[in-house]
Structure 1
């Protein structure tokens, strides 16, 4: 299952946005209002839970400064990646989008598609607030 967020423009350089997105504590500011739990686990991972959804731990698995950050699920039970793509538009402006790639059975994919689509859209929509 592949999902793509809309692209947003952020009033920050690509380097600045990359640095903000590789600082795990900043993800709490990107989360939707219905967040039930958020915890930074280490320099490269965090755990979050939304009301009515299981907790998910994301871990940075690849960084290509200043254009790409790949997060992976820390658990093999729900295999997926979340890819942040950053594009420089000018010295002080960049654009960002998120791509979700997950391996789910058809029943699970049907159940999680809506909530995950909404989550990645909220994450990217909140990036200009960083």
Structure 2
């Protein structure tokens, strides 16, 4: 299952945005309003929960500065990645898009498609406000 957020314009250079997204503690600023829990576990991992959803641990998997930051599930139970693609538009302006990719059975995919689409949409909207 592959889902993409709308592209958003961020008032940061690609390098600054990449550095911001590479610090997992900064994701607390991007979380949607329905986040019931956010906890930094170490410099590469954080745990979060949305109301009505189980807790998820994300970890920083790869940074390809200044254009890509890849986070992934820390658990093999629900393997997925969340990738931020960043393109510089001008000196202090960049465009970003989030892509969620995971392998799920049809039933699970139906259940999580809506919440995940809303989640990555909220992350993108909040990124545009930085």
TM bucket, shorter chain: over 0.9
Corresponding residue for residue 65 of structure 2: 65
Q: Is the 8 A contact 2:36 2:49 kept in 1?
A: yes
Corresponding residue for residue 50 of structure 1: 50
Q: Number of residue pairs matched?
A: 130
Unaligned stretches of 5+ residues in structure 1: none
Aligned-residue Cα RMSD (Å) equals: 0.7
Runs of 4 or more consecutive aligned structure 1 residues displaced over 2 Å after TM superposition: none
TM-score normalised by structure 1 residue count: 0.98
Corresponding residue for residue 97 of structure 2: 97
Corresponding residue for residue 38 of structure 1: 38
1:107 partner SS? helix
Deviation per CA, 1:21-50: give whole Å up to 9, x if none.
111111111111111100011111110000
TM-score normalised by structure 2 residue count: 0.98
The answer to whether the aligner puts 1:81 opposite 2:81 as a matched pair is yes
Unaligned stretches of 5+ residues in structure 2: none
